[in-house]
Amino acid sequence: MQILVDGDACPVKEEIYKVAFRRNVPVIVVSNSPFRVPVHPLVRRLVVSDGFDAADDWIAEAANARTVVVTADILLADRCLKAGATVISPAGKPFTTSSIGSQIASRAIMADLRAGGDVIGGPAPFSKTDRSRFLSALDEALTKLSR
């Protein structure tokens, strides 16, 4: 069992470490640029090339049924779900095979609107509730995998 983190813009890395240490689960933080991670035998930082989608490609290839992936990237979430992984957004919302299709469609619609010049709002600011929901979702996902 392991946790793979799409690390470049992940706002819940500290929460991931906290849960991983408590449950003794290895974490691999994948990114295009180096940044600090705790010096701990359970945490590994993997810096991939700065090529387009290099981090996503590595995560998707490493994902499997014994993996929890943390990402906000809907297309990466889809790839990881197809590999059998459990996927959670940093806001604590799980990606599922039944919901990913509509999420991809919504993403495409929003991209079309932006390309057409429409001004649309971005995601809501990250909140304490999101952090709390994430902690619960990660703990729940790891409990299911450990069974």
pLDDT digits (tens, 9 = 90+) for 72-83: 998 999 999 999
Angle in degrees, CA 122, 33, 64, rounded to 5 = 80
Pick from 43-47, 58-62, 95-99, 133-137: least confident: 95-99
pLDDT band of residue 127 (cuts 50, 70, 90) is confident
- Find all residues with CB under 8 Å of 106, minimum gap 6, and list them: none
Closest-CA residue to 91 (of 56, 143, 141, 137): 137
Strands (E), 1-146: 2-6, 27-31, 43-47, 67-70, 86-88, 94-95
- Report the pLDDT value the prediction gives residue 97, as an integer from 0 to 100: 79
pLDDT tens profile 35-71: 899 999 999 999 998 888 899 999 999 999 999 999 9
d(CA 75, CA 101): 10
Bigger pLDDT: 59 or 103? 59
At residue 113, the pLDDT reads: 66
pLDDT of residue 23: 96
pTM of the full predicted structure? Answer: 0.85
Name all domains of the chain by residue range, CATH numbers in brackets: 2-96+126-146 (3.40.50)
Decide if pLDDT at 120 tops 90: no
pLDDT at 107 over 60: no
